[in-house]
Structure 1
């Protein structure tokens, strides 16, 4: 216990000495500052302002870094959302294509055959074939040449002549 007491008194004495030396140092600094020329005091003030500005700039940099990190995170979220929406669009396009293909197939199967021409001016006998039937007659080239040489008036006269010879009483 005695040892502890001696130790405490030693510490107390040391602290008193340190306090005394600090007071002396403070007094010395105050005398030095008082003896400083004005321009040196101005430099000290400017240094203090620069130090404060530096601290505020560091705070702004930290804030800006945080903001940049937040913006990067938002950008990644937006990018992932875009990718998700692109996949949804692709899936929707596939679904639409599948549905339209089914609908078109059902529409085409409900149509009548392309060989069925009913309703287009053909009779039921002609509707079974792909093309309407045409009656073909072969004519000798001599007859064709005669027809080319005759004028329409000559043809009309020949028709009247045939009708008279047959004894048509309708005239």
Structure 2
């Protein structure tokens, strides 16, 4: 009675395969989205950089409101979170992300990890890793990586939503 879901890495990889195909056919302006993972190359039809919304992590809605918008050019963006796939047991929320260290669902303040990277396989993997590690460890990891940036949404001690943005995307992101 065990079920394993590998969609954490499959969507990012599939997106990279499509981007490789488009690049191989000399298509230089596109935005691909698969299940919330995104690759933006070049510009949109209005000759503007692609503007992508990052959803507010809200457990009470199927489709949430935007929490922030970000301009993405020639990069991939993957977001992981525990606000859609979870269940409640005895009034407690059980996240779908399982810690490989403990074998139990994770429990920490990080609600959403949006990772910007050169390809979506990398962004997807780091987004999932951040959801396992939590806010502080994720910040330390991402800050050491070249070409990788992050936008984290987390729950403050008072329960309000807060965010953290790495320096590489600060000028491209707007918290709403």
TM range (shorter): under 0.3
**TM-score with structure 2 setting the length:** 0.15
Bigger Rg, structure 1 or 2: 1
Pick 1 or 2: higher relative contact order, CA cutoff 8 A, min separation 6.
2
**TM-score with structure 1 setting the length:** 0.15
Structure with the higher helix share, 1 or 2: 1
